[in-house]
Structure formats: C-alpha cells, structure tokens
Amino acid sequence: MELGINQLIKMILGIFLVVAVVVSFYVFFKDYVSGLFSTYGNETPIDLVLSLLK
C-alpha cells in the first residue's frame, strides 16, 4: 500500500483536526469540571458518592 502526498496531507490534517477538537473541549470544560468537584473538597468520598446519588 503506497501513500501518496495527497493521502499524507489528508491524514496530517485529520490528526490535527482531532487534536484541535480535543484541546478545545478541554479548555472549554476545564472550569466547569473543576468547579463541579471543588465544592466536594471537604467531604469524605462516601459523602461525595451519596450526594451524587440524590
């Protein structure tokens, strides 16, 4: 199987696009996820689990 220049460029652009999407999701949701778990800092793990089950 030979990879032409055209196919290599498409693969590189595809990998770059996937990385860009993952990084943008991380940056966008970073504050939301850390804010969600920062309120449970002083509780024991069992209290965290019980509060999530409510």
Task: Give per-residue pLDDT as tens, 1-54.
Answer: 677 899 999 999 999 999 999 999 888 877 776 666 666 556 666 776 777 777
Q: Is 9 within the bounds of a domain?
A: yes
Q: Is 34 within the bounds of a domain?
A: no
Q: Is 51 within the bounds of a domain?
A: no
Q: Is 50 within the bounds of a domain?
A: no
How many domains are there within the chain?
1
Residue tagged 């002083």 (tokens)? 42
Q: Containing domain of residue 22, as a range?
A: 1-27
Helix (H, G, I), strand (E, B) or coil at 41: coil
Give the pTM: 0.54
Cα–Cα dist 24/39, whole Å: 25
The pLDDT of residue 28? 83
Encode 8-54 in three state secondary structure.
HHHHHHHHHHHHHHHHHHHHHHHHHHHHHHHCCCCCCHHHHHHHHHC
Q: Is 37 within the bounds of a domain?
A: no
Q: Is 32 within the bounds of a domain?
A: no
Q: Is 40 within the bounds of a domain?
A: no
The pLDDT of residue 6? 92
